[in-house]
Structures are given as C-alpha cells and as structure tokens.
Structure 1
Amino acid sequence: MAGNRAVVYLKPGEVEVQDTNYPELILRDGPGVNPLNVGRKCNHGVILKVVTTNICGSDQHMVRGRTTAPSGLVLGHEITGEVVETGSDVEFIKKGDLVSVPFNIACGRCPSCRRQDTHICENVNPDRPGSAYGYVDMGGWAGGQSEYVMVPYADFQLLKFPDKDQAMDKILDLTMLSDIFPTGYHGAVSAGVKTGSTVYVAGAGPVGLAAAHSAQLLGASVVIVGDMIEERLAQARSFGCETVNLREHDDLGEQLEQILGVPEVDCAIDAVGFEASGHGENGGEAPATVLNSIMGATRAGGRLGIPGLYVTGDPGAEDADAKEGTLKIRFGLGFAKAHTFVTGQTPVMKYHRDLMKAILSGKANIAKAVNATLISLDEAPEGYKQFDGGVSKKFVIDPHGLVRS
C-alpha cells in the first residue's frame, strides 16, 4: 500500500513533515479525534491525491500556540485533489475527477445542511455544530497538508472542475475555492457590499485581500484596506485598493476622511480576528480592537462582516477574560448605530461554484490578489515561519510536484 507524508503540528512554533498512515475510508483514532468519532465508517467518502493545499492564517493560530490543538495533529483544511479511490456509496464522483474540497465538513442530511448552513453541520462533530479538516475541536478529521487525504460525503460536498486541463492551467486560482476566496466573499456579502459601496477591510492577510477583491467584484466604488505591515498594504494597492497603515496612523476615522471626505464607510469587514493589535506605533495585543474600530468607522445602519477567527479558548491570551474568548467589545456602540453583525465559519458551498465560474471566465483573479506562492511539501515548515513573520504571500503546497510553474 502507498505511504503518506503530512505536515504535523508538534508544539508552539514548530511543525514538521512526517511519514503518516495512508488514509482509509474510516475515521481512526489519533490526535484530536473525538472518541465518539473513532471508527466512523465513510463509505460515502473518497481518497484524494492532493494536488494543492494551502497554508491558512487559521492554521497559524494553532501553530503559534493560541489554541488547544494537540501535538501530532495533521494540519490543513484547504484542499484540492484528484480522486484515486471511491467508497461503495459514492455514485456521482469518479476516479480521476479533479475536485475542490470545502473546508467545512458537512453531511448534507441534517437540518443545517438542508438550509445551506454547511458551516454548522450537526452530524460531523460531536463537540458542537461545524467541522473542518485538521483543526482543533473540529471532530478530529485528518488534515490535507499531505500527499493523500480522505474526504467524507463526497457526492454532496465536492466541487468537480469541468475540464481538468483548463483547471490545472488556473490551479493557483482554483485552489483558493476551498476556503479563503469564499471566506473573503462571504465577508463582503455579509457586510452588504453592493454597487457603489464604500468598504473598509481590516487586515491585509490573504483573507483580507480576498475580501477586498470580492468587494471589487461586487461593485464597490472604493475599497480601503487597513493593516500594520507595509508589505501587505503594498499587495492590496497592487490590485487597486486604497490603504491605511494603522501602525503609523492610529485614528482610523481621520484616515478614512482623507480618502473619502467623510470619516466612515458603508460596510466593514473584519479579516483579522482575535489576534488583533492596538493601533499606533506602540500598540500591543488588544483582541477587541478591530471589532470596536469597525463599529466606529461604519455608518449607522451598516453591516459588519466578520470572517476573522474568534475562539472560545485562547491559552496564549494576555488576560484571563481573553483566555476564554471574552473580549471588551463596545457593543453599546453597535446597538446605538443599529449595526448588523454576521459571524461564524463561511458556508463554502453557497459560493464556491459561482466563484469557480468567475475564475474560469477570467473575471476573478484571486491568485494575483493574494500573491499565491508555490512551495513543496518539504518547504512547508519554512512557509509557516515566513507567514508568521508577516510576509505578503499565500503559500500553496504542491505535494507531488504536479503544478506547472
């Protein structure tokens, strides 16, 4: 039987490529696997040969030690691959198909899935609604930063690319369909972006850049991106965004007024999450900063899309409240301004087919927007280090050397 290699979380700040078991169509015991999930048969699943798999900022939270992720966890929830084995219950997905895997694991049968709320599937994670590959407290499904991975509920979940050769030509764009493109798009849709909107995006990491590109696709008149790292802001400017350096300028409203003539926007998107920093040169860790700043910067009656990750447990937080996800949010400000808040994982399946068509038609150029950068599986640990240092790249792992450079 073929072997497998994967990126494994060891301890805060350290990942390693290790030999691992070849996947089976059953959920075996291992690091992070909920006991109630052990032995779960997945005849409805497939085995994929991973073509591309991406490093995500959510992975980085775990690698920094900011979650309760166990040592030995195989990482990776952004997966694109070729089907090499199908379970006995799989009817429509075939061997040889090239597919995108939504990072949400969803059964297609529960009330949430029937409402298209595949981000809160009720049957795949005994801990709480919602699941994902290679992620802490998400049921223990093995991650996809590997050579091979098992994907359950294949007929329901998988997005098959219509033409393999065409897909491989655009694979650096299509690989973003598993998470960050739908996540950025969901942030923009949740914020109510429409033709003519003025939009503020907090964070110029890959999800923030995807949100900014999505806002442009939705017809925004001006997209302003704020961050504290100039290299990331330069990447946002490369595809037509205005930018605000929040390390140099701590008054967001003043900076918005210089760009727009008024100190507020129609819509705002939080693409930072709980590892936020206070604005200004000496701003330290302040996890509620982004939420409070976008409430202040969004017009009355506006909407706030919040795809940035917030957690129920943060062992690396600086105060006791934040360790359990309790943040000092100015909720009264949001109430007074009648804001709408939309939070939670992204229901990828609501968006991924339409975004695929936008990519294949040339309308969306997400790889360029996020600076997709190809690396090998063995280069993944160095990719994590560079990403943690703030480099403006979206690292795409090519485990088998299948992507034409």
Structure 2
Amino acid sequence: MAGNRSVVLRGVKNMQVEDLDFPKLQMPNGKKAPHGVVLKIVASNICGSDLHIYRGSFPAPEGMVMGHEMTGEVVEIGSDVEFLKEGDLVSVPFNVACGRCRNCRNGRTEVCQTCNPDADSAAYGFNLGGWDGGQAEYLFVPYADFQLLKFPDRDQAMEKIRDLALLSDILPTAFHGLMEAGAKPGSTVYLAGAGPVGRCGAAAARLLGASCIIVGDHDKDRLALMKRNGCETIDLNEDVPLQDQIEKILGEPMVDCAVDYVGTEAHGIGKDADKEDPAYAINQVIDVTRAGGATGIIGIYGPDPLAESKDEQNGIYPIEFGNAWIKSPKITAGQAPIMHYNYELMQAILWDRMPYLSDMLQTKVISLDDAPQAYADFDNGSQEKYIIDPHGMIAS
C-alpha cells in the first residue's frame, strides 16, 4: 500500500513534510469504521486558523497532521457507505460530525456530541478529537454518506476547483457570520478583517445583496484589494474612532450588522494599532452595530498561552458588554456548521453567482513540498490563499 506524505507539526513555526502510513478505515480510538472512506486529496488549503497552531497560540500535539480545508476524490469505500462511489469528487466539511447525535440531527454539526471525547466539537487537524488533518496525499473521513458534499459533475468542478476548495471552511464560515448577523438585501455591513475569511465575507455579503459593505483592516494592500472589489474600506491605522469613520461613509455611525473575522490576534486603532489585544475586534464590532442589530463573532477565541495577561491565557477577555446591553444586541459566536450552507454556496459557484471570488481570495496553488515555506510566508503577511495540490491535479 502507498504511503501518505503529510504536513506535520513539529513545534512552534516548524512544519515538516513526512511520509506516514496510508490511512485505514478506522476511528482515532482504533475502532473499525465501515461508514468511512479514504480520499485522494485534490486540494487542501492553509487557513488562518492553522496559523494559530503554527504560532503556538492554539496548543496542538507534536506530530499532528495539519489541515482542515479539504477537497478530494474517493478512492476507498467502507462496506456501509451507500451513496458514494470511487472517483466521486467531494468537499469535506472541517467539522467532524456523526449525523446521529442530538446536535447533528438538529443541524448543529459544529457541536457534534460523539466525535470528540473531550468536548462537543470535533475537527480535522485541530487537536479536537484526534483527527488527522488533510494537508496530505490521502485522508480518512468517517460517516461519509452524511458528511461529504459530492460535486454533481467532476469536469465542471475541476474547472472551478479554486473556488470550490473554499467550501470546506472559510466561505461557509464567512457566510455563517453574516447570517447570524442578520445580513440581507439592503443591509449595511461592517467586516472586521480583510484576511482570506474576511474577503470571503465580503463576497458573501455581495451574494446576499448587502448595500454598503465596509471592511476594516491595518494592511493597506488588503484594503486596496477590497476597494478594487467594490467595498468601502477603513484603514485602522488612522487615529479616528471607528464610529466616526463609519459615519463618514454612511452618514450615520453604526451599521445594521457587523462580523468579527479576526479573533484573538486583533490590534487596536490609531495610536493602538501596534498593540495586540484579543478583545479589540469583538469590542469594535459590538460598538458599531446599531440598536436592535446583530453581530457575528467568527474569529477564534479561546485560552491563548501566548497572551500577555493571565486572564487571557485562560480565555477570559474584557468584553464591553455593559455599553452594548442597552442596544438589545444579538451576539452569536463559535464555529460554523459547514453542512448548513455548503450545498447552496456550491450551487452559487457552479452557476457563476460569485465570479469575483477568485480575485478577492488571490488563491495560489502550491505543492506539498512548498507548504512549510507557505506557512512562513502567510505568517509574514502574504495576501495569498494557499491551496496545496499534493498530486498535481489542479491546472495552472
């Protein structure tokens, strides 16, 4: 049987490509999994969330295979799999979900109760249940009939694979933030962060028919990219209160809905732009959401061993809730249930309803051997969204 070359975590800012064993149809605890399949990976992206692990702010065990944004071809099928066949091209939701527990049956696949013995949440390549990631040549996927999104036409899918590769995480995650924030036709929207998931948020906001899409970031190149794609932009290096900058654009200081796509690596505004504070972005989006509006908190929050304060190391953040309470806010946080959105977003891509997605994301296809350097470049501020192509299947 073939091996499985994989991107492996070997310490802080230390990714290595290693040759591991070919995946078996079995769960992390060794139990056989006739409900699973093995995929030949076609595309596996490097996500901003992977940088949390790379930098050491999200603890993960040494030797873990990285990656949670996968698209692949079915090459081996368990005996209980009924609706997939060898050669099918599929998208893998990053949430590992059984489809059988109470939460999964209610569509809450991001909080599956059975796939992680330590918490009601499981994910590939994320130290959440012991699941190997998919920055590799091959990947085992359990509960395949339930989890996997099959593309209806393989040739059509390969023509649009750079965009369809986003369905495993960042596009549905960005869309989820907007849905939880109540975005709809005519909404005014503020998006904190113009990284890859924030850019997916801008594309999703356009798909939803938002009227004015405002994006805030400290990186001038990212802001220029957003401006080129029809967004209003706010340079958070300017020493002007965020509400004032929004009022300059809209004529009023608040928006209908706002989404935090940054998380714990947020920085301040103006004179505080060089200061990292995990609570900055969440407080900013709460502050600029109008009374009766809603906010989606999509950026990652959790215990961070690299944080400056003891509270923040333990996942306790100074949220300015007292100032927001009078506005009757709706605030939703957490991972996205990818399966709740990925089919419809797939159709939007296949029917060319998101033709601007590739330009917004600046996708770059790389080999498996290039992955360690891509991590370093991404960590140093590269604007590109890296897609690992382990088998050379994506056309240049």
Question: 1:235 is matched with which residue?
Answer: 225
- 1:225 corresponds, among 198, 215, 225, to 215
Percent identity between the aligned chains?
54
Question: 1:260 is matched with which residue?
Answer: 250
Residue 204 of structure 1 contacts residue 226 of structure 1 at CA under 8 Å; is this kept in 2? yes
2:288 and 2:310 mapped to 1: Cα distance?
Answer: 28
Aligned residues: 394
Question: 2:328 is matched with which residue?
Answer: 338
Aligned partner letter, 1:118: T
Pairing 1:43–2:34 present: yes
Matches for 1:97-136 after TM superposition, within 5 Å: 97-136=88-127
Question: 1:196 is matched with which residue?
Answer: 186
Q: State the SS of the aligned residue for 1:11.
A: coil
Aligned partner letter, 2:291: A
Matches for 1:5-404 after TM superposition, within 5 Å: 5-27=5-27, 37-136=28-127, 138-283=128-273, 284-311=275-302, 313-365=303-355, 366-404=357-395
Aligned partner letter, 1:262: E
Deviation at 1:281, TM superposition (A): 4.5
Deviation at 1:258, TM superposition (A): 1.1
Q: State the SS of the aligned residue for 2:387.
A: strand
1:392 and 1:153 mapped to 2: Cα distance?
Answer: 35
Deviation at 1:334, TM superposition (A): 2.2
Structure 1: 4+ residue segments shifted above 6 A: none
Q: State the SS of the aligned residue for 1:263.
A: coil
Deviation at 1:294, TM superposition (A): 1.2
1:150 and 1:334 mapped to 2: Cα distance?
Answer: 45
Gaps of 5+ in 2: none
Question: 1:3 is matched with which residue?
Answer: 3
Aligned partner letter, 1:102: P
Q: State the SS of the aligned residue for 1:5.
A: strand
Aligned partner letter, 1:48: L
Deviation at 1:354, TM superposition (A): 0.3
2:72 and 2:58 mapped to 1: Cα distance?
Answer: 28
Residue 249 of structure 1 contacts residue 255 of structure 1 at CA under 8 Å; is this kept in 2? no
Aligned partner letter, 2:11: K
Question: 1:32 is matched with which residue?
Answer: none
Aligned partner letter, 1:63: Y
Aligned partner letter, 1:205: G
Q: State the SS of the aligned residue for 2:312.
A: helix
Post-superposition Cα deviations, 1:148-196, rounded to whole Å, max 9, x if no partner, equal 0100000001000011000000000100000000001001111100111
1:78 and 1:281 mapped to 2: Cα distance?
Answer: 36
Aligned partner letter, 1:315: P
- Judged with a 3 Å threshold, the aligned counterparts in structure 2 of structure 1 residues 341 and 287 are, in CA distance, closer, same or farther, namely same
Q: State the SS of the aligned residue for 1:396.
A: strand
Gaps of 5+ in 1: 28-36
Aligned partner letter, 1:346: A
Deviation at 1:238, TM superposition (A): 2.4
| Segment of structure 1 superposing worse, 120-129 or 363-372 | 363-372
- Judged with a 3 Å threshold, the aligned counterparts in structure 2 of structure 1 residues 259 and 124 are, in CA distance, closer, same or farther, namely same
1:275 and 1:250 mapped to 2: Cα distance?
Answer: 21
1:155 and 1:8 mapped to 2: Cα distance?
Answer: 28
Post-superposition Cα deviations, 1:73-121, rounded to whole Å, max 9, x if no partner, equal 1100000000000011111111000000000011010110110001101
Deviation at 1:249, TM superposition (A): 3.6
2:101 and 2:272 mapped to 1: Cα distance?
Answer: 48
1:250 and 1:385 mapped to 2: Cα distance?
Answer: 32
Q: State the SS of the aligned residue for 1:127.
A: coil
Post-superposition Cα deviations, 1:207-230, rounded to whole Å, max 9, x if no partner, equal 111111111111110000001111
Deviation at 1:251, TM superposition (A): 1.5
Q: What TM-score comes out, normalization by structure 1 length?
A: 0.96
Post-superposition Cα deviations, 1:57-87, rounded to whole Å, max 9, x if no partner, equal 1110010010221111110000000000001
Q: State the SS of the aligned residue for 2:223.
A: helix
1:8 and 1:281 mapped to 2: Cα distance?
Answer: 39
Post-superposition Cα deviations, 1:248-276, rounded to whole Å, max 9, x if no partner, equal 34411111111111111111000001111
1:199 and 1:259 mapped to 2: Cα distance?
Answer: 12
1:150 and 1:61 mapped to 2: Cα distance?
Answer: 24
2:224 and 2:388 mapped to 1: Cα distance?
Answer: 24
